[in-house]
Amino acid sequence: MNPQKVFVEMSANRIRKIVALTKMDLEEEFVSLDKHKRGVVSVIQFSFVMSESLECEQEDIDKWVAMMDPNGQKVINYNDFLRVVQNSECYPESLKDIQVPERFDA
């Protein structure tokens, strides 16, 4: 199995468990940071939610950023992220052709 897919499935499962246990509205976490209501947050804002609200380690945050911002625009479409977390099979089209970086190896 592709290392990126393994990472996404494991990480998404962990995020779903935290959201369920804490009764967190993850979408609202991002919406509250999206001052222009464009459906995106900065990489810094995304990293903050991932570390502070979801208690993710920096290495995992870096992997999510690499996948969700493949062009290095420094913004994350949080709706795409939420779709992937809710259903690990729902990769955005932009992710399907990305070469898996070595750092995704288990």
Q: Which structure tokens are listed for 42?
A: 């900065």
Q: What is the chain's pLDDT, residue by residue, as a tens digit (106 residues)?
A: 677 788 888 999 999 999 999 999 999 999 999 999 999 999 999 999 999 999 999 999 999 999 899 889 999 999 999 999 988 666 555 454 444 445 444 4
Q: What CATH number does domain 3-89 carry, 2.40.30.270, 1.10.238.10, 1.10.8.60, 3.40.50.720?
A: 1.10.238.10
pTM beyond 0.85: no
What is the residue whose two structure tokens read 């969700």?
68
Could you tell me where the beta strands, DSSP code E, fall in the chain?
40-42, 75-77
**3-state SS class at 40:** strand
Residues sharing a CB contact under 8 Å with residue 94, sequence separation 6 or more, in sequence order: 70
Q: What is the pLDDT of residue 4?
A: 78
Residue 66, SS3 per DSSP: helix
In Å, the largest CA–CA distance within the chain is: 39
Q: Where are the domains of the chain?
A: 3-89
